[in-house]
Structure 1
Amino acid sequence: MKVIYTDAVHARVELERDLQVEFREMNALLAESDFISAHVPLLPETRRLFDAPKFHRMKPTAFLINTSRGPVVDEAALVAALESGKIAGAGLDVYENEPFIHPGLKRANVVLAPHIASASLETRTKMACMAAENVVALFQGQRPANMLNPEVLKR
């Protein structure tokens, strides 16, 4: 599977190679992607990051997945994009006005989760083990397996 990403900061070439990912500007990412997964903090510049113009740039076969923060998606624009066929579907674990869920999102091509998508025992156990293994590696003078910013080790 080809994985592309966008971010305010372009990752190092070595990291992109190791993770087998490619950088794209936002508009190119929207036009090229089959699945777009939002992973951003809620900031003034990310509020309604996914709005009507962004949905118009997406492929009609694309799915938007939001597990970051609800207000990152303009839900009225998302509903309009779903109803008009601008995009194929969505998967949401967070909502613009939690706990309220926009009635237009209750449709067959939208998967709704109650803001607990990572709350399975298996996921939480793996998260805890991964964190512990990374701490142990660091204390043993090794690079943690899941470290994405190794430059901090030079400090």
Structure 2
Amino acid sequence: MMMNGLRYRRWVAAVVCLVATTMVRPVYADAGDFGAMPGLWKIQVRHVENGKAGAPTVTWHCVDEGADPWTTFASWTPAHGECTTTDPQRRTTSLTWKLTCKGSPEASAHVDFDSAKHYTGSVSVEGHGEVIQVEGSRYAACTSPED
């Protein structure tokens, strides 16, 4: 089933909002075995349209030692609650999952760490290709709870 342009843009807009939420269903494992450093992280999210990435939306967040990787680095579910996360796969340097959204083609997402201080990831929609790019970089230790 093809989505019309407006419906597709709305769905993609909802996916963009997902970075701010932490509603991914967690897979329970020792968070300490995940290869990411705690500290202050800069996250850049780019919306991809017609194969071109747009200007980044930047957010900052402090990652505690032992934080759950699923709620820290894979918080990509729409706030509307119309999407469900399935097939979560976790390795020491990557996370992959599927998003099934009401009335939309299935999407797949991933986060891959090339070091303990940097990762890239994306969301791809079946039949539309990559719709979101994300990049995270650790900048410093967290200095207060407000970081």
Same fold (TM over 0.5): no
> Which has the larger Rg?
1
Q: Quick one: higher RCO (CA 8 Å, sep 6+), 1 or 2?
A: 2
TM-score normalised by length of structure 2 = 0.24
More helix by share: 1
Taking structure 1 as the reference length, the TM-score comes to 0.23
